[in-house]
Amino acid sequence: MRSSWPPAPIGSRKTATPEEDTLDDPETGPLRRCLVKRESQARETMLRFVVAPDASLVFDVTATLPGRGLWLSASGNVIQSAIKSGVFSRAAKQRVSVPPELAQLVKSALERRVTELLGLARRGGIAICGFEKAREWLVAGKAGLVVQAADGSLAELARFCSGSEVTQIRVLDGTRLGKIFGREQAVHVVIGAGKLAKMIESESYRLAAVAGPGLSGQ
């Protein structure tokens, strides 16, 4: 997609500011640049924001809303730095209304996103919960992702995943996991290998990065 921003005049010696440099980059390709850290990262690991018609800042959790994207690294500290520095308004070249509780709004949106994807996996028959049944999928090599309740036991997680190298995530508590599967509580969940498991893993990493500790590595 060609950028709608006009190219700099040939021979111009003007050096673009960091914000201008970001906005001149077309939103194509696998990488995006963080407005705060000035580092380029894979777009699926980052947070995209857009400015609404009323000049309010909106977190685009699925990175599909129209408009020029304003990208940040997935980090609560980076979000707070962006708010304090006024980087959104400078990058957008207009006054932008940024909610002071932006980090919490992002966290809540990512929690809903992970919950929705897990529900989709359950309805599609590619997610199962319960120690014994989920363990059977794991042993049979059907698992693409292990989801354990964030308030579950790490020792029990190690026992559950014994002999497996499948990625493990811990970002939702047992009550929220249970609601997805029609139970009061759920501790161990296995997602079948495939695209949806990768999406849940990616969104869980973003959530863990914004919320803080709570994700188990591979």
SS3 per residue for 141-178: CCEEEEEECCCCCHHHHHHHCCCCCCCEECCCCHHHHH
13 within a domain of the structure (yes/no): no
Buried b (16+ CB within 10 A) or exposed e, 31-44: ebbbbbeeeebebe
DSSP category for residue 212:
-
Domain tally, the chain = 2
Quick one: pLDDT at residue 43? 93
By residue count, the chain amounts to 218
Q: Quick one: 122 and 181 in the same domain?
A: yes
45 within a domain of the structure (yes/no): yes
Q: Which domain holds residue 25?
A: 18-100
Quick one: pLDDT at residue 20? 40
Q: Quick one: 134 and 176 in the same domain?
A: yes
Q: Mean pLDDT, 10 residues at a time, over the chain (218 residues)?
A: 34 37 56 94 96 97 95 96 96 96 96 97 96 95 96 94 93 95 95 96 95 51
Q: Quick one: 111 and 206 in the same domain?
A: yes
CB-based contact 115:143 (threshold 8 Å): no
